[in-house]
Amino acid sequence: MSCIMMTVAILTPIPVEHAAIVARLGALEEQLLEGSRFVSGLFEGKHHRYRVITQQTGSKNEVLATATDKIVRLFQPSVVILAGIAGGVKDVQVGDVVVGVKYYGYESGKVTSEGFASRPDSGYYSKELQAVAQSVAGDDQWRSRAKNAGGARVLFGAIAAGNKVIGSSNSDIFRLLKQNFNDTLALEMEAAGFGLAMLNYPTVRFLNIRGISDLLDGKSTSDAAGSQELAADNMAAFVYELLYRLDITQFNTIGMDIKELAKQVIALILPMIKMDAVKEIGNDFKDATNGTIRELWQKAKPLFIEEYDSLKNNPEDPDTQADARAALKRSLSDKPALQNELEALVETIKKNQGGATVIENSKNVISGSHISVGGDFHLGDKG
């Protein structure tokens, strides 16, 4: 098992789904951040120990888009899973598990004189997670985590989402699905918002897993018979078997190699570390430095705080610099979203090199100094 604690986020729209996910976690903790409630717990996998961050978000695509962005930004997970129940559209039965291959936001389109022309929001879920899900579906091990999986099957296909509850196969929306999205297996209210939000985090893998709680017709009757609880339990059983088997170290790296990223970050902020060691520098320095490189410095510094202090005391020492790069690399290894943010800042700074900012006549600047920070700004007396 990896000694690194990996962070996974699981979003659940309604209480029955959240209860099924939280019930399988240990060492539960609650946090209130930015007006949202998060419940976290621990889970032991075959390859990793997980810190699982959960949130009961509420329904609808817009709500999920906001919640997805917040949980990724706050917790920097390696994987995000939208976990819940759904109505079955075709080829499924109550209790089955549907793993999303792609999503449709079927309400997007244009109304013309000839009627509604569909222009759906659509996209695909992470293929690496789909591959692990296929492995889980290939045997019955996931059923041992369920209370009563019975004859439930696992199917892979499209999941469609709109902001309306569909309670009949005789509705206009159902006919729209059949006509324009006839590969849809399940219908819910969050997939499109989730998928679109995750486009902003290309290094974070994401997947949508749903338990089938009804077949649209007779939804109220199915719900009264406990179908939601059954579907949520089967869904959660499958989710945790997937996490148990998942080996995140096998993911292909997206974007800049983490070793190269750590090297470039340290090189760019090293002059700022040198200036941090000069206690006389005050607000003039803070206000004059380029905002992008200051943001890079502020985001990176907490990731290698012990090594940062050593580097500040001896910034020219190659061994100290190497220790800082190694510590930064370790800190970023399980924070793909933060990797993405730092890489974007590095690329912005590189593009802006050559347009330097100079602080002139500052009483806080060492006389005669002229320090370059990655070509992004210069600190020193003019001339």
Residue 64 · residue 13 · CB < 8 Å: yes
For residues 58 and 151, what is the distance between their CA atoms, to the nearest angstrom? 30
Alpha helices for 160-282 (secondary structure H): 172-180, 191-198, 219-224, 227-245, 258-276
Question: Tokens 């997670």 appear where?
Answer: 129
**Looking at the whole model, is its pTM more than 0.75?**
no
Give the CA-trace dihedral at 308, 309, 314, 318, to 10 degrees. Answer: -30
Band of pLDDT at residue 108, cut at 50, 70 and 90:
low
Band of pLDDT at residue 374, cut at 50, 70 and 90:
very low
User: Could you tell me which residue, 294 or 119, shows the higher pLDDT?
Assistant: 294
The radius of gyration of the chain's CA atoms, rounded to the nearest angstrom, is: 25
Homologous superfamily of 5-250 = Nucleoside phosphorylase domain (3.40.50.1580)
For the chain, how far is it from start to end, CA to CA, in angstroms? 58
Question: Domain residues of the chain, as ranges?
Answer: 5-250, 258-380
Give per-residue pLDDT as tens, 17-28: 999 999 999 999
pLDDT at residue number 62? 95
Residue 24 · residue 8 · CB < 8 Å: no
* Residue 88: both structure tokens together: 């079955």
DSSP-derived secondary structure for 93-126: -TT-EEEEEEEEETT-EEEETTEEEE--EEEE--
- Residues 284, 289, 290: CA angle, nearest 5 degrees: 155
